Amino acid sequence: MKILIKGGRVVDPKNDFDKVADVLVDNGVISEIGENINADGDVTVIDAEGKIVSPGLVDMHSHLRDPGQEYKEDIESGTRSAAMGGITSIACMPNTKPVTDSEPIVTYIKTKAKEVGHVNVYPIGSISKGLEGKELAEIGELKNAGAVAISDDGRPVVESGLMRRALEYAKMFDIAVISHCEDLGLADGGQMNEGFMATYLGLKGITRAAEEVMVSRDILIAEATHTAIHIAHVSTRGSVELVRQAKKRGVNVTCETCPHYFTLTENAVDGFNTNAKMNPPLRTSDDVEAIKEGLKDGTIDCIVTDHAPHHIDEKNCEFALALNGIVGFETSLGLGLQYLVKSGVLTLNELIEKMAVNPSRILRINKGSLSIDADADITIFDPSKEWTVDISKFQSKSKNSPFDGFTLCGKPEYVIVGGKIVVNNGELA
């Protein structure tokens, strides 16, 4: 089947293309981009006038909970949720049960994604066996099985020598290393950001240094070994500055942040709101401004969701017992458009670059562009169309989001994955 997308503003930062044009999809790939395209035969026509036609978004940091915790999310529900957010490719973290630390688990995820997935799924393997931080996982085996990165996300690699060996082996196998930067001794069982709000609520705080010390350590190890490191979920001004200065020195470091770190502050926790509990925690308004500055000047390469679904019983409890994390697939584009593009922090091209082009480059996957003969992964949205977040309508099994009731803009109207329409006029196809 052919799909002809007519009259949209085609924005493709990777190919420096930004103009009103038609896009023809044929046999699952992009076959032509230009003006007044005509197509014969069985053609589905999408009127994109007044809308943005962009590469499908790529989320390089998510949790699908499958295998082992399917009561929170599974590959089918998670990819359904991603599709509704305009995300056509996701990379899923290894803190599953069992841990994604071997070829059989990677194969399971890939096979199930092909069978029931609505978008492309790329497994991330663990750095250490069982996420225990004691012994390296079989990195070559993970890469050969189809893992696109390695990470112990959810836990830090505490032992510096192990992180050094992980970086050196990853360089040999040309696979990305994603670091969860947290000094557990400094975090010391804290519940939220250390500061006034923590004192006001009587909750134990987490110092910014818990993140920044490990960011500094991993940058120094990467610098010493001439290897690449990707820093996950940056949340503080100090971390942004550490990455900024490392890049100036020529260190091969990239980093990401999440929408909640450029939209919310620690004040969202007021009232013991467990949907605002995450790790790293929400910080101060100064940190939020620093994240925006880092996005604007290119210090922060990617915007990811860190989609972390939890059952309601794991959030509807005492704050100290509530699990960390929020769901993010269905709000990430809207938050980026509302809080970054609409406010002038980023251009639309820069937002798409951080949500599609750069994640693809870091993961070494052939996504994030509208190149001729590329897989037809396409997201179509109206950036000016406002909508209200309603968690009851989320496609995710879990509803743990602090953005319920927020007014955003740019909800995806059409999403195409591999030439197949998976979201049609704002609804799952």
Q: Provide the 3-class DSSP secondary structure of residue 264.
A: coil
Neighbouring C-beta atoms of residue 186, cutoff 10 Å: 17
Catalytic annotation present for 306 = yes
Distance of CA 202 to the CA centre of its chain: 32
Transcribe 161-206 into DSSP letters: HHHHHHHHHHHHHT-EEEE----HHHHTT--EESSHHHHHHT--EE
Identity at 147, one-letter amino acid code = A
For 39-193, where are the alpha helices, taking DSSP H only? 75-84, 103-116, 139-145, 160-173, 184-187
d(CA 36, CA 311): 49
The active-site residue out of 22, 101, 301, 306 is: 306
Residue with tokens 């038609």: 22
Neighbouring C-beta atoms of residue 16, cutoff 10 Å: 7
d(CA 17, CA 419): 21
Q: How far is CA 214 from CA 299, 417, 418, in A?
A: 18, 37, 39
Residues 6 or more apart in contact with residue 315 via CB below 8 angstroms? 274, 275, 277, 322, 323, 400
* DSSP H or E segment with residue 379: strand 378-381
Neighbouring C-beta atoms of residue 39, cutoff 10 Å: 17
Distance of CA 136 to the CA centre of its chain: 25
- Orientation angle between helical segments 209-225 and 160-173, nearest 10 degrees: 50
Neighbouring C-beta atoms of residue 41, cutoff 10 Å: 7
Q: How far is CA 244 from CA 24, 241, 407, in A?
A: 40, 5, 32
Q: Which residues are catalytic?
A: 306
